[in-house]
Homo-oligomer: A and B are copies of this chain.
């Protein structure tokens, strides 16, 4: 029997997948979901301008994309008042998270994150043989900033991950709180600030770019407000030295050509983005009211999803199970307290929310005996 000569890291690495995709769940159950509200994919689709740009780009699909993503990086730099050398494009934030772990961490070294935070980041840390130091969320479901800082100081970690707004809770730190947190970082620790959901936050409540801090790598995506998750485009805003380091390791021709064209067009359609933000805010209120009807609390959300607090892991998992059986794809983080009490539902269109309400009522019914 032949054994492939895997290296030590791979041999010792347990099998893990950051997320089981909805298609896999559908194949397992044999039934397609009636409502796909589990991956925070935008139900409002993408800008018609982006759609046209992607369609037009199909006529030159036989050409590799521009490995420098020059037009998109120029536009993003102008938008954020940075230089092009501070912008890196990847196949979604997920790919960029892998680059960051790879350039800063060596096998065995510590990396700090919140317990129950974004699984894909934690997946990358493990897969490069590094060690996670996980800090529980606070009882109010916010990231424990003093706890995270302490973990960095105690372990000497060079890397700290924080999502703002947070996933899966939907909480948000004010610019002031964030600024003060950044100022407290030890000088040899980089902060990965995952801002996948920042476009849902009012501009005055975002950390300004003028406060560009060399220790912070800010990550943005076209997967959420822009409705282009399937296109795979995300970007990092960071020191030129860091963008330069990405260039030493990244798959230079890796981003899909129509996706680059679509992202550029999407940036220009600011009216579309405003519309999505408006619709999303209405949907969030709708979900909060739905929760209230059933006596369930929600965490005030700054994202395109709402986390419902079921007050116990058993109830959260039971509701997850019931909804999935009714054909509603949602997520419940499970794992450790306090996040294990939560069930996360992506904001849907008005039609999807109408469909959801009776199903949610039905799914919640059998929970009374918990």
A10 adjacent to B255 (CB under 8 Å): no
Distance of A5 Cα from B109 Cα, bound (Å): 13
Interface string of A58-87 (1 = CB under 8 A from B): 111111111110100000000000000000
Contacts of A257 in B (CB 8 A): 230-231
Main secondary structure on A side of the interface with B: loop
Give min CB distance, A105 to chain B, whole Å. Answer: 6
Return the contact of A259 from the options B18, B24, B251, B256 (Cβ within 8 A): B256
Give min CB distance, A89 to chain B, whole Å. Answer: 13
Distance of A98 Cα from B253 Cα, bound (Å): 13
Contacts of A42 in B (CB 8 A): 62
Closest to A186 in B: B5
* A188 in the interface (beta carbon within 8 A): yes
B91 adjacent to A5 (CB under 8 Å): no
Contacts of A6 in B (CB 8 A): 103-104, 245
A58 adjacent to B62 (CB under 8 Å): no
* A223 in the interface (beta carbon within 8 A): yes
Known pairs A62-B227, A63-B230, A92-B253. 18 more at Cβ < 8 A?
A6-B245, A7-B105, A10-B103, A10-B249, A13-B249, A15-B244, A19-B67, A19-B252, A21-B67, A51-B58, A64-B223, A64-B229, A91-B254, A92-B251, A92-B254, A94-B254, A120-B252, A232-B255
Interface residues of A (CB under 8 A from B): 2-10, 13-19, 21, 23-24, 27, 36, 39, 41-46, 51, 54-55, 57-68, 70, 91-92, 94-95, 98, 102-106, 120, 127, 158, 187-190, 214-215, 223, 227-232, 239, 241-242, 244-245, 247-249, 251-259, 262
